[in-house]
Amino acid sequence: MHIRVDLMKHELPMFHTENDLLQNLVVTSPKSARKKFRESIFESWEWRCMYCDEALTEITATIDHIKPKVKGGHSTRNNMGLCCSKCNSSKGSQLVFDYYNKSHPCYSEARASKIKEWIDQHLVVWSLTPG
């Protein structure tokens, strides 16, 4: 039995959850795998807050669970966004578009649709093929 990995769309090879990544790493330490996972998310958001577009650094960047953990959101890539601590704390445990809509002072259609695409992404399809 071989495991085939089909990459969807134009994305780089990427694991869907932190655990997928950890399970597939032999050389690197869990700590460094976590760091890589976070950095890959930050890079995808171009180191800018997903809500207000502020430029962020390793120090100021925070991970936002797009669907809050308390509402059943998971730590999967498509549920993890990059935002500044100010937006992260004002969003709190609200659902993303309850927080980020036309009444938000920094609302932009372009960023709202990027968030929608992000949530819908399917990067890697794992399939088992007899071999």
Cβ 30 to Zn ion shortest distance, Å: 29
Sign of CA dihedral 64, 67, 72, 78: negative
Q: In one letter, which amino acid is 21?
A: L
Residue 56 binding Zn ion, by CB under 5 A? no
Residue 51 binding Zn ion, by CB under 5 A? yes
Which of 21, 41, 66, 84 lies at the binding interface for Zn ion (CB under 5 A)? 84
- State how far the Cα of 8 lies from the Cα of 121, in Å rounded to an integer: 9
CA 45, chain centre distance (Å): 8
Q: In one letter, which amino acid is 65?
A: H
Residue 49 binding Zn ion, by CB under 5 A? yes
**Stretch 7-46 residues interacting with Zn ion (CB under 5 A):** none
Which residues are near Zn ion by CB under 5 A? 49, 51-52, 54, 84, 87
